[in-house]
Each structure stands twice: as structure tokens, then as C-alpha cells.
Amino acid sequence: FAPWDDPNAKPLIRFRNVTKRFGEFTAIDDLTIDIYEREFFALLGPSGCGKTTLMRMLGGFETPTEGQIELAGKDIARVPPNKRSVNMMFQSYALFPHLSIWDNIAFGLRRGRMPKAEIANRVEEMLRLTRLEKFARRKPHQISGGQRQRVALARSLAKAPTLLLLDEPLGALDKKLRQDTQFELMDIQERTGTTFVIVTHDQEEAMTVASRVAVMEDGRIVQVATPDAIYETPNSVYVADFIGDVNIIVGRADPQGDKVHLNWAEGQPKFIGTPASPFEKGQTCHYAIRPEKISISAQKPEGATNTVEGKVLDIAYLGNISTYHVELAGGQVIKAQKANNRRISRRSFTWGDQVWLSWTDTAGILLER
């Protein structure tokens, strides 16, 4: 499933040079993006980057100042919310407290003047889809938070919208329930075939549920790709840092064939990595390396592309793995992760140990900014 790689695939949603200003303030800045049918598309970014504004324009609650928004080939930028086949599930769920779960799900269908028998069928189908059959007669305060979340989802899907917008849908759930619910969401999205666009500031959530993730910064999308492509080949320090843990070492580029060597400190071995874009000799660059891609050993490893010696400063024990903070000559600190071997001891190294770090030249990525 990768319609974005298919030149013949028609996008369901197209944003064309969309700008949204609130007075002098630009919340969305000349944004262009395509989203395909059946995608589970995540908008990810820090608070204030414009995720909700983008979503609200899709829902019809805001109109763009400039640009076009197309849904299934039609310009919908100025079409009101109730006239587009889009539904939005809000963080607060907004269930009616005095209505049963059954009636909450039926509410929108009744307002749409659907025949009674058809409503009943549809509600039963939604109850099955979200595994809520047992709770149909209860009121919202008589079920758990996770179940309420499922009611809200059932209600938003009842009218079979072309597109469902989810604004931080799992924000009110605790971590464990949140993780279980992420899998339920993915399952329901797959079974209904509805296109989902989710707003979240939780990078793990975006990476778990989404077919593609758009990382936003200051009203712009800075990278859009599949979760693994975003993780493995970020296009900037901002993206690398926003998604997961990363070491950034700043230095000067020395291009050698398809690799770049990084001069980062006098008298230290250069780090060899794979450039994300072309570099000129002497250009400032940022070398990004994920902690779990670095091996730690007591002896200098044979045959590794990048090796450097350092001293263990700090250790964070995380159960199955530990993160080691290793200080290199010149004060540069690098984080490296190692699986804990329980049969020997909890940790492989201790504070003050001299260790060797090593990694491959494909693990290190050179970024311009």
C-alpha cells in the first residue's frame, strides 16, 4: 500500500499553496500536500506549529486565506462542514451524557433523516465494529474512558464519511490504554477503509498508527514520509530530533565519493557518514547518529568504519536496554544504547570505564541544518 509512489494514483485530498493568516500571524504558510484514499495520515509537530489549523480547514471550520483544498477532485475550501463528507472526532469526545451509547451513535443518523430500520442496522454494525455491543444501553458515565473513546469513534464513523479527522483522539487515555487503543484504531481504520487524518504531538503514536507522517514546523510541512523513512532518513536536525533520540555532532564536511568525512575535533578520527544532500568541502554540517546504532565495547573493534574512544559519564537503566553517556576527547558527549544481559549483570560497563564506540557509515547521516 503506497499510492504516494504511484504516479497514476489520484489523491483524495490536495492542499495547493494553502496559507492561513490570523490577522498578521501566519499559522499555515504556503502548504502543499496530497493525501490518498485509505491512508492513515498523521500530522506531527510541537504545540503551535499549525496542526489543528490545518485539520480545521479540512473539516471546514476555518477557510484558507489563500490556496485551494480539494476533496475527491472538488474545491471544498469554502464548503461548510455539514456539506462535506468529512467528520471530526474531538479530543473531548463530546458525548451526550443523558443519552445511551446506542442513542449517542444514532444521533447524527437521525438528524440526517435516515429510515429507522437502516439506522438500527447501522448502529448495530458500529457497535460490533468497536466491540461495544454489551454497553449499548448504558450512559456515557457508566463506561470507562477507553470505551467512551470507542463510542466517539463509532459515532463519527456511523455516517460513513469519506474522511475522518482525529484531533489528539487518545490524549485523555493513560499510556497503556493509549497503546492498546492505537492498535484498535488501526484495525478499525483498515476494516472500514476510511481515510483517517490524525493530529498528534506524540511521535510514538504517529509512528505506530500512520501510513505516512508529516512533520510540521512553524506552519510548514518539513518532511512527509513513511514512519521508517522519517526515522532512518530524516532531512533535517529538527526532524531527526523530533522523532526519537539522536546524537548531533557539528563539524566540517570533507566529501569523499558518495560518503562525507566529518572533521569535528582536532586530532580526533573523522566520522564517516552518508550525506542527505550534497556537501562542499569545509561546509558546516550536522552528523546525526541514533544511540541504538552505536556499539560499545571494551576493546577497539576490528574492521568498523567509525571508532572512537571515550569514558562512561552516566548510565540510564531502562530495563531491557541501558543508555550510556560517553564523553569523547574535547568534551563531546555521545549517547549509545546497549541491550542488558541479565545473566551476567544488569550493566555491561560502569561509570568511569574507558570504552570504544563504533558504528557503520550508513548509520551516520550528514544534514545541512
**Footprint on this chain of ligand ATP (rule: CB under 6 A):** 22, 25, 27, 45, 47-53, 201
Give Cα 310 distance to the centre of its chain.
Answer: 34
For 314-323, b/e burial (b = at least 16 CB within 10 A) is ebeeeeeebb
Least separation in angstroms between residue 48's CB and ligand ATP is 4
**Residue 44: strand pairing partners:** 200, 215
Residue keyed to cell 477503509 = 193
Nearer to ligand ATP, 52 or 87 (CB): 52
Q: Is the dihedral of CA 100, 104, 109, 110 positive or negative?
A: positive
Least separation in angstroms between residue 49's CB and ligand ATP is 4
Least separation in angstroms between residue 79's CB and ligand ATP is 20
Nearer to ligand ATP, 171 or 255 (CB): 171
Nearer to ligand ATP, 25 or 176 (CB): 25
Least separation in angstroms between residue 172's CB and ligand ATP is 14
Cα gap 164→38, rounded to integer Å:
11
* Listed residue (221, 215, 261, 262) closest to 240, CA to CA: 215
Nearer to ligand ATP, 25 or 344 (CB): 25
Nearer to ligand ATP, 56 or 150 (CB): 56
Strand order from edge to edge, sheet including 74-75? 25-35, 13-22, 66-71, 74-75
AA letter at 238: Y
Least separation in angstroms between residue 21's CB and ligand ATP is 9
Residue keyed to cell 493509549 = 178
Least separation in angstroms between residue 243's CB and ligand ATP is 16
Cα gap 175→196, rounded to integer Å:
22
**Class of residue 304 by CB neighbours under 10 A (exposed 0-12, middle 13-18, buried 19+):** middle
Nearer to ligand ATP, 25 or 331 (CB): 25
Nearer to ligand ATP, 214 or 253 (CB): 214
Q: Which three cell numbers stand for residue 169?
A: 483522539
Nearer to ligand ATP, 23 or 319 (CB): 23
Residues 6+ apart with CB under 8 A from 91: 167, 168, 169, 171, 172
Least separation in angstroms between residue 169's CB and ligand ATP is 13
Least separation in angstroms between residue 171's CB and ligand ATP is 10
Residues 6+ apart with CB under 8 A from 122: 106, 109, 114, 158
